Chains A and B, each alone.
Chain A
Amino acid sequence: MSAALLAVRGLSKRFGGLQAIRDLSFDMAPGEVLGLIGPNGAGKTTAFNLISGFLVPDEGDVVFDDRSLVGLKPHAVCQVGLARTFQIVRPFPRLSVLDNVKIGALGRRPAMAAAREHARAVIARVGLESKMLAAAGALTLPERKRLELARALATEPRLLLLDEVMAGLNPTEIVAILGLIEGINRSGVSILLIEHNMRAVMSLSHRIVVISFGEKIAEGPPAAVANHPKVVEAYLGDAYVHAPQA
């Protein structure tokens, strides 16, 4: 029906007295990089959890490739081609880097040898070859972020949900991972990105959706969104809305 790869329709989620997400809707075209931004506590990670099956929405629908994902368990969501990373990285600490990535690869390549080969290739792509056999629990934070990315990538998704893969990285590391994400996108994978690093999200995203207190307040190309009065207000307070631009 629609050409959208992902269509989020009227999504709502309440936790007790807190309306975490209210009537959230947006579309993603195939091949697009969409940035999802908003102040702390705006509901970005909740939105991710709703889309990836870790939470069930109270209302609304998530349609991926003309198929509703609501009610699917996370593993089934992954199997249809939508993979996520976690903001707080969750490696399998006792497994090696290779075995960690292999878990992702085994979904589409059930034979161990084939999965291992694919995992090796993905590890090389994210630049973790030298750590291939190290236990994941022994990696540094930047390495863990790359591992998190590699594992999700190994599931061969069509849509990758990245939850703050740059948080805690230094500028050099951010430049490296930016290049990596651009490369992944160029290979045909659509990317939905939660990111606090504004420069990174502005340079990567084709479009940006801004949410605040669980509601979408703006949507559009990066430059337009950055100057949108509601966005400025959400981030800096309404005193800054009419302030002269620096």
Chain B
Amino acid sequence: MRVACALALAALLVLPLFLSSYAVTLFIFIFFYAYLGQAWNIVGGYAGQLSAGHAAFVGVGAYASAMLSMHAGLTPWIGMFIGGALSACLGVVIGYLGFRFGLRGFYFVLLTVAFAEICRIVALNTEATGGAQGLYIMFTGNPRQFQFQDNRVYYYVALGLMLGATGIAAWIERHRFGAYLSAIRDDEAAAEALGVDTFRYKMLAMTISSFLTGVGGTFYAFYLFSLQPNAVFGIPLSVEIIIRPIVGGAGTLLGPILGSFILSPLAEVSRAYFQAGGWSGAHLIMYGGLLIAVVLFLPQGAYPFIARHLRLGQR
């Protein structure tokens, strides 16, 4: 298992030297969505608290670092952490409301969606954030501005983000924190009875998850150079974040990565084809079908299934 991971990592490190620019872009999407999926996985997978509004954290992080860069000249390398911190603040508010008042399952889903929608509508109607037009970031190609002439630098940054989040998830999994999260996911009352401060650990998971997701917002802003409220705060982005870890295996370390390797190329290809045929948005229907299939046939996701068949350790 370790050897396989090391080989895969080595392959990913040298891969850009041989890939076309389009293929590099594809890998950037795979890594970036795997990163967002891994960040979601901490609260949605391990702790089983289904946030369906994680786009809110991407949006807050993206707008924060973009505006700090445009108006205050602050480098996004620092802005990304400020954006992450602001997202974490939002995560604390949502988490407190949800966990303090015992919203579970669908009710928590609705709460998180509602907050993302509020963010979207506020951004749409606020002049400072550019309203419906959003923000456009001027391309300078200056690394200090998180901008790179060579697409391959984005590749390595996205790879680094994915590995960093996976490292954090791996640490959590190996410590008491992770064990408590999986207990909370399986039966909250039983976890309480065994001395687990469920409120505290759920809040902690939500804070870490929203912070990491907010950091991802900076990558989003400075890779795409434009931010529109409907794109960055919209439900479709939340779906993109959730569906990869669910397909790959929520609450497993490699699930979000596997899910992204399955779905991101599929989404990219189908988006290109459907859009060319005037069917933009049809890839979302495909997501729906895929999600139903996964829930029916692989409710634990693809990774546990594959691991079982290859007799790998449960990760």
Q: Is the interface on chain A under 10, 10 to 19, 20 to 34, or 35 or more residues?
A: 20 to 34
Q: How far is the CB of A169 from chain B (nearest CB, A)?
A: 20
Inter-chain contact A155/B195, CB cutoff 8 Å: yes
Say if the beta carbon of B308 comes within 8 Å of chain A: no
Say if the beta carbon of A22 comes within 8 Å of chain B: no
How far apart are the CA atoms of A31 and B180 in the complex, in Å?
31
Say if the beta carbon of B190 comes within 8 Å of chain A: yes
Say if the beta carbon of B179 comes within 8 Å of chain A: yes
One of A5-13, A71-79, A187-195, A212-220 at the interface:
A71-79
Inter-chain contact B176/A73, CB cutoff 8 Å: no
**Taking CB as reference atom, which chain B residue is nearest A89?**
B190
Inter-chain contact B187/A92, CB cutoff 8 Å: yes
0/1 string, B174-216, CB within 8 A of A gives 1: 1110011011011101111111111100000000000000000
Inter-chain contact A74/B192, CB cutoff 8 Å: yes
Select which of A73, A111, A112, A151 is within 8 A of B194 by beta carbon: A151
B residues less than 8 Å from A93 (CB atoms):
186-187
A92/B192 contact (C-beta < 8 A), A73-B197, A112-B174, A112-B175 known: no
**Taking CB as reference atom, which chain A residue is nearest B178?**
A112
A residues less than 8 Å from B176 (CB atoms):
106, 110-112, 115
How far apart are the CA atoms of A94 and B175 in the complex, in Å?
18
Say if the beta carbon of A54 comes within 8 Å of chain B: yes
Count of interface residues, chain B, beta-carbon cutoff 8 Å: 21
Inter-chain contact B183/A155, CB cutoff 8 Å: no
A79/B193 contact (C-beta < 8 A), A106-B176, A106-B179 known: no
Can you name 9 A-B pairs with beta carbons within 8 Å?
A: A75-B195, A78-B194, A90-B190, A92-B182, A94-B185, A95-B186, A103-B191, A107-B194, A152-B193
Most buried by B among A103, A115, A152: A103
17 extra A-B contacts, CB within 8 A, seeds A74-B192, A106-B180, A106-B195: A54-B192, A73-B199, A75-B191, A75-B197, A78-B192, A83-B194, A86-B190, A91-B187, A92-B187, A94-B186, A99-B179, A103-B179, A103-B180, A103-B196, A106-B179, A151-B194, A152-B193
Inter-chain contact A73/B192, CB cutoff 8 Å: yes
Most buried by B among A78, A106, A154: A106
Say if the beta carbon of A205 comes within 8 Å of chain B: no
Say if the beta carbon of A222 comes within 8 Å of chain B: no
Inter-chain contact A75/B198, CB cutoff 8 Å: yes
Inter-chain contact A103/B197, CB cutoff 8 Å: no
How far apart are the CA atoms of A155 and B192 in the complex, in Å?
12
How far apart are the CA atoms of A28 and B197 in the complex, in Å?
27
B residues less than 8 Å from A102 (CB atoms):
179
How far apart are the CA atoms of A95 and B186 in the complex, in Å?
8
Most buried by A among B190, B191, B192, B198: B190
How far apart are the CA atoms of A142 and B97 in the complex, in Å?
39
Say if the beta carbon of A146 comes within 8 Å of chain B: no
How far apart are the CA atoms of A155 and B186 in the complex, in Å?
18
B residues less than 8 Å from A86 (CB atoms):
189-190, 193
A residues less than 8 Å from B189 (CB atoms):
54, 74, 86, 90
Say if the beta carbon of A104 comes within 8 Å of chain B: yes
Q: How far is the CB of B204 from chain A (nearest CB, A)?
A: 14
Inter-chain contact B194/A104, CB cutoff 8 Å: yes
Q: How far is the CB of A221 from chain B (nearest CB, A)?
A: 30
Inter-chain contact B190/A155, CB cutoff 8 Å: no
Inter-chain contact A52/B193, CB cutoff 8 Å: yes
Q: How far is the CB of B8 from chain A (nearest CB, A)?
A: 26
Inter-chain contact A107/B195, CB cutoff 8 Å: yes
Say if the beta carbon of A84 comes within 8 Å of chain B: yes
A residues less than 8 Å from B175 (CB atoms):
112
Select which of A76, A83, A84, A92 is within 8 A of B183 by beta carbon: A92
Q: How far is the CB of B46 from chain A (nearest CB, A)?
A: 11
A residues less than 8 Å from B185 (CB atoms):
94
**Taking CB as reference atom, which chain A residue is nearest B201?**
A75
Q: How far is the CB of A165 from chain B (nearest CB, A)?
A: 14
**Taking CB as reference atom, which chain B residue is nearest A161?**
B193
